[in-house]
Amino acid sequence: MIERAVEIIESGERFLVACHRRPDADSLGSALGLIRTLRAVGKQATLFMPESIPESLSFLMQDEQSIDTVPEGTRFDATWIMDIAAKALIPPRFPSPEVTGPVIIVDHHHAHDDIGDVVLRDTSAAATGEVVVRIIDALGLESIPEGAATPIYAAIVSDTGGFRYATTRPATLRLGARLVEAGADPWQVAQQLFERWEPARLRLLSSIIATLEMAFDDRVAIMRVTRQMLQICGANDDMVEGMVNYARRVQGVEIGALLWEWPVRSAEGNHLETKISLRSSGAADVSAIAAALHGGGHRAAAATQLDVDIDRAEELLRDELAKYFA
């Protein structure tokens, strides 16, 4: 499919590039890497960003401008959605097909929905950022385009947990070195992604860990975060990112889970849904559990969002966990 992606780039002039809902480092880093690649080959590229990004990712934007709605009358030759595996993660206010042109999915997840007109999915890649580099190479560029190295490096560092997860292969480390040679700063990326915690986030971590429950003969650790907890700690939703990893760190745990009350605004009124983040300590395939709950991801990390309250979400999660372990 990479040949088809190259054909679309070479035959088009104007492209829209989008992240999945609640963009993370891989989605945003891949989007910015692709945008700067498209511009390097003389194309127009616009970032579609209808939601705010976590403060920890703002350094990736540099001077990049984004739009949250497409101006009336605008048309694109194609639209790219980065790092998306589930229909539920299509960003809000996503334009109609008459505006987007063909929709190209660039992704690396094993479990996924059938979305997109053209799908460039490489499940052997550690991150979607790695797939973007393959596009760069397929275009015949001699080097990583200016401004693309840092966001692509951040994408890969984030999805490999700092090159710690099982998805890290020799080729992943070689690619990391190549991106550093092209200008990525490892300390800047590590500091922004992993180090800069505000006091409120530490208070939130303490509150979340206090909810820890063990299940399925201590093979699963489940934690929660509610709106009330966020308010008491003076924290925001951005600070919840990555907290699920603490559940996985419990000795003997195969699956860590975090249930997170999530506010949704709609024409019918405001209500709470529940996000579920899942992490595997190695052998467990959490993408299978997320897929059963209409989500997606890969073996080590997956997620879903359910239109139910947090208690009902936990019941549904436990039902799927029981089936999985059976």
- On the CB side of 258, CA atoms within 13 Å amount to 26
What is the model's pLDDT at position 166?
A: 82
In angstroms, the CA 173 to CA 181 distance is 12
Q: What backbone phi and psi angles, to 5 degrees, belong to 269?
A: 125, 175
Chain-centre distance of CA 205, in angstroms? 21
pLDDT at 107: 95
Q: Taking the chain (326 residues) in consecutive chunks of 10 residues, what is each chunk's mean pLDDT? A: 94 97 94 98 97 90 94 95 90 94 93 89 94 97 96 96 90 98 96 91 97 97 98 94 92 96 82 95 89 86 92 98 94
Is the distance from CB of 294 to CB of 86 less than 8 angstroms? Answer: yes
Specify the DSSP element, H or E, that contains 122: none
Which of these, 223, 306, 34, lies nearest to 147 by C-alpha position?
34
Domains of the chain, each with CATH number or no CATH? 2-194 (3.90.1640.10), 199-325 (3.10.310.30)
Q: How far apart are CA 179 and CA 86, in angstroms?
A: 29
Q: How far is CA 168 from CA 1, 48, 173, 219, in A?
A: 23, 30, 7, 24
Q: Rounded CA gap, 324 and 306, in Å?
A: 19
For tokens 């208070």, the residue is 203
Supply the pLDDT for residue 299.
83
Amino acid identity of residue 241, one-letter, is E
Tell me the per-residue pLDDT of 171-218, one tens digit each, with 9 for 90 and over: 999 999 999 999 999 999 999 998 888 999 999 999 999 999 999 999
**What is the C-alpha to C-alpha distance for residues 105 and 115, in angstroms, rounded to an integer?**
8
CA distance 303 to 277: 4
What are the beta bridge partners of residue 222?
213, 257
pTM here is: 0.84
Output the pLDDT for position 55: 85
